[in-house]
Amino acid sequence: MYASSDLPRSPDLEGAQAVKILIAGGFGAGKTTLVSSVSEIRPLRTEERLSELSAGIDDLTGVGTKTTTTVALDFGRITINSDVVLYLFGTPGQERFWFMWKELSVGALGAIVLADTRRLSDCFGAVDFLETRNIPFIVAVNCFDGADIYDEDEVRHALDIGTHIPVRHCDARDRRSSKQVLELLLEYLVATAMAAGEHPASSWPASRPR
Amino acid sequence: MTGGFSLDDDPGPLVRPFAVTRGRAGKHVHGLDILTLVMAARPEADSAGLDREYREILRLCEHRALSVAELAAHMNLLLAAVKVLVSDLIDSGYLIHQQPRPAMAKPDIQLLQAVLDGVRKL
C-alpha cells in the first residue's frame, strides 16, 4: 500500500466524479465571461488537435494559419462536494471546430446556449448540435449594453425551439446572474430526468426513434 | 519510463508538443477522457528519477484529484500529449485514475440534484 505519514489520506479516487456542462453559443456571445464569473478558478485554456478538419478555415485565434489545427477551449471549475467536481466548458465560437470534438459533448449533463440578440443566428449551430445529440439545454440571452431586448417567447420563436426549453435573460459578467442561469439549467435537468423516470417511454428530449 | 529514460533525455523547455511524448500521439491505452481524474499514488520523493513532465504531473496532482483537462492547461500542453504522459504514469503505478461516468441514456437524478445543491451554495 502507499499509505504514508505525510499524506493526509492514502490516494483514493473511489466515488470521485467529474461532470461537465457546456457553454455554447456564437463567437463573442460571452461564453468565457460566463465561465469566469462562476468558476472558482480563473478559467483555464486547453487545446486539442483535430485531424479531420478541411482546409479553408477562417478566423478564431489564428487556427487557420496552422497546418495542424488545434482547437482551444476555456473552462472553469466548481467544486460541488467532496466527491463531485463540475467543469464548465466554453465551446469554441467557431462551431465547425467543436462539432468535430466528440469527446467534448459526450456525457455532458447539459448545456447553456448563450445568445446575443444582436446576432441571434450565431447560435443556430449550437442549438442544432445539441438537439441532434439529445443534450438538454436552456438558452441564456446575454444582455449587452444597448442590445435590443427581445422577450423570451420571441427568442424561442427565432431559435425555433420548443416551449419546454427555458429561456432567460442574463448578464454574463455578473456572478449572481450567471449562477442563476446555471441553477435554471440544473433545475430543468432534474425536472426532465424526473419526468423521464415517471414516463420512461416519453423521455425528454424527444428522442430519436429506436 | 522506469526503463530507458533518464534526466539526460530531458528535452528542455522549447519543445514541440509531442517531443515530450517522443512522438507518440493517441497511444494512450486507458481510454483517457478530458474529464478523467488522476491523483498521485506515491509520495513525491518516489518520482525523483523521472523526466520533468512526469514529475510535473505528479506534483500537480499530489494530494488532490485533477482532471486531464486541468493538467493539460497547467502544463500548457495539448490534451493528446498529456494523455500519453498520464497513460505512462498509470502503467507504472505512479497515478491512480477515475473515469467519468459513461454517457448513459438515463440521467442520474441524485447526481443532478447534488450538482444543483452545490451550485445553489455558491
Model confidence over B69-111: pLDDT tens digits?
999 999 999 888 999 999 999 999 999 999 998 776 577 899 9
Alpha-carbon gap, residue A140 to A88, rounded angstroms: 15
- What pLDDT, on the 0 to 100 scale, is given for residue A16? 93
Q: Which residues, other chains included, contact B31 with Cβ-Cβ below 8 Å and sequence gap of 6+?
A: B99
Q: Could you tell me the pLDDT band of residue B8, with boundaries at 50, 70 and 90?
A: very low
Is the CB of A191 inside 8 Å of chain B's CB atoms? no
Q: Which three cell numbers stand for residue B10?
A: 530531458
Q: Could you tell me the pLDDT band of residue B26, with boundaries at 50, 70 and 90?
A: low
A–B CB contacts, 8 A cutoff, strictly below: 137
Q: Do the chains contact at A109 and B112, CB–CB below 8 Å?
A: yes
Q: Which three cell numbers stand for residue A19?
A: 461532470
* Residue range B45-54: mean pLDDT, rounded: 88
Tens digits of per-residue pLDDT, A24-79?
A: 988 888 999 999 999 999 999 988 876 644 444 444 444 444 445 778 889 999 99
- What pLDDT, on the 0 to 100 scale, is given for residue A53? 42
Q: Could you tell me the pLDDT band of residue B22, with boundaries at 50, 70 and 90?
A: low
Q: Read out DSSP for A101-142?
A: -HHHHTT--EEEEEEEGGGGGGGHHHHHHHHHTT--EEEEEE
- What pLDDT, on the 0 to 100 scale, is given for residue B42? 87
Beta bridge partners of A90: A23, A74
Choose the closest CB to A18 out of B63, B100, B113.
Answer: B100
**DSSP 8-state assignment for residue B29:** S
- Helical spans, DSSP H, in B1-122: 52-60, 68-75, 79-91, 109-120
- Checking DSSP bridges between strand A69-79 and strand A44-50, what pairing results, if any? antiparallel
Q: Could you tell me the pLDDT band of residue B2, with boundaries at 50, 70 and 90?
A: very low
Nearest C-alpha neighbor of A19 from the set B114, B8, B74: B114
Q: Do the chains contact at A75 and B69, CB–CB below 8 Å?
A: yes
- What pLDDT, on the 0 to 100 scale, is given for residue B74? 95
Domains of chain B: 7-120 (1.10.10.10)
Q: What is the pTM of this model?
A: 0.82
Is the CB of B120 inside 8 Å of chain A's CB atoms? yes
Is the pLDDT assigned to residue B13 strictly greater than 80?
no
Is the CB of B63 inside 8 Å of chain A's CB atoms? yes
Is the pLDDT assigned to residue A179 strictly greater than 70?
yes
Domains of chain A: 17-197 (3.40.50.300)
Count Cβ atoms below 10 Å from residue A89 Cβ, excluding itself. Answer: 27
Is the pLDDT assigned to residue A85 strictly greater than 80?
yes
Is the CB of B108 inside 8 Å of chain A's CB atoms? yes
Contacts of A179 in chain B (CB under 8 A): 119, 122
Q: Which three cell numbers stand for residue B18?
A: 509531442
